């Protein structure tokens, strides 16, 4: 059944994908497992895009399907007791990058794990991150980027946060695409997350949830 969902979504069979998700949710399957398989399928779409098999319309469609699946599974995931929020997290895809699939998954997972997330969207300039930190008082910032050009934007954003005297007040995590430890060092971030659950763990460690 897992391979059915991964294969069907990767082939962008929209109606069939939703049918599989509905059937599995109705059967009481773990919604987080379903979401993880959907994420894997979207990764395959990304690989096919990189190899020239898929193009921008297919990439956008896969993102829309993933968002729809996220809306389907969200009611099935129990929130933390009493809706008590653990803390605020500022999230955004950095300037020059318009990829939002990875960011949206992280935002969703942070939300269902009890965080109040300020989602700044895509192609977010450094100053917008700075303003959001000031306005929200958030102690955690997440920056997403799929393209390699995003690494410089991440570095510029960290520098802007430092210039405003906010660097010691926040922890910064980065993720997406080819982000690794070398990129973390280059950007000056505190940590990088390989996936959404890694981002949740970092936020909990830093905020104390």
Per-residue pLDDT averaged across 44-70, rounded?
88
Choose the final residue of a domain: 59, 76, 93. Answer: 76
Query: Are residue 164 and residue 129 in the same domain, yes or no?
Result: yes
Does 140 share its domain with 105?
yes
Q: Give the range of the structural domain holding residue 28, as residue numbers without chain letter.
A: 2-76
Whole-structure pTM value: 0.75
Residues 112-166 have pLDDT tens digits of 788 999 999 999 999 999 999 999 999 999 999 988 899 999 999 999 999 999 9
Backbone angles phi, psi at 4, to 5 degrees: -60, -45
Cα separation of 156 and 112, whole Å?
Answer: 30
Q: Give how many domains the chain has, as a whole number.
A: 2
SS3 label, residue 78: coil
pLDDT of residue 80: 43
Q: For residues 129 and 63, which has the higher predicted lDDT (pLDDT)? A: 129
Cβ atoms of 177 and 145 within 8 Å: the answer is yes
**155 shares its domain with 184:** yes
- Do the Cβ atoms of 136 and 89 come closer than 8 Å? no
HSE at residue 120, side-chain half, CA atoms within 13 A, is: 26
Q: Please indicate, yes or no, whether residues 147 and 45 belong to a single structural domain of this protein.
A: no
Per-residue pLDDT reduced to its tens digit, 68-92: 998 898 888 765 444 567 899 999 9
Average pLDDT along the chain: 90
- Where among 32, 60, 76 does a domain terminate? 76
Give the contacts of 92 (CB within 8 A, at least 6 positions apart): 103, 119, 120, 121, 122, 124, 128, 129, 132, 142, 143, 144
**Are residue 33 and residue 108 in the same domain, yes or no?**
no
| Phi, psi (deg, nearest 5) at residue 191 | -165, 165
Q: Are residues 93 and 168 in the same domain?
A: yes
Q: Which has more pLDDT, 122 or 60?
A: 122
Distance CA 84, CA 99 (A): 30
């Amino acid at each position: 059944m897992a391979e059915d969902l991964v294969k069907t979504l990767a082939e962008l069979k929209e109606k069939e994908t939703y049918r599989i998700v509905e059937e599995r949710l109705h059967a009481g399957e773990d919604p987080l497992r379903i979401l993880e398989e959907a994420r894997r399928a979207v990764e395959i779409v990304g690989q096919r895009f990189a190899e020239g098999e898929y193009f921008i319309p297919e990439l956008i469609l896969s993102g829309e399907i993933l968002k729809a699946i996220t809306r389907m599974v969200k009611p099935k995931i129990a929130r933390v007791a009493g809706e008590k929020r653990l803390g605020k997290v500022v999230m955004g895809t950095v300037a020059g990058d318009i990829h939002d699939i990875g960011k949206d998954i992280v935002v969703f997972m942070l939300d269902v794990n009890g965080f109040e997330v300020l989602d700044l969207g895509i192609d977010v300039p450094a100053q917008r991150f700075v303003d959001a930190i000031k306005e929200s008082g958030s102690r955690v910032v997440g920056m997403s980027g799929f393209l390699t050009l995003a690494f410089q934007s991440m570095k510029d954003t960290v520098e802007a946060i430092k210039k405003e005297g906010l660097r010691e007040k926040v922890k910064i995590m980065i993720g997406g695409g080819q982000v690794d430890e070398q990129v973390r060092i280059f950007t000056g971030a505190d940590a990088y997350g390989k996936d959404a659950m890694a981002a949740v763990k970092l936020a909990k460690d830093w905020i104390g949830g």
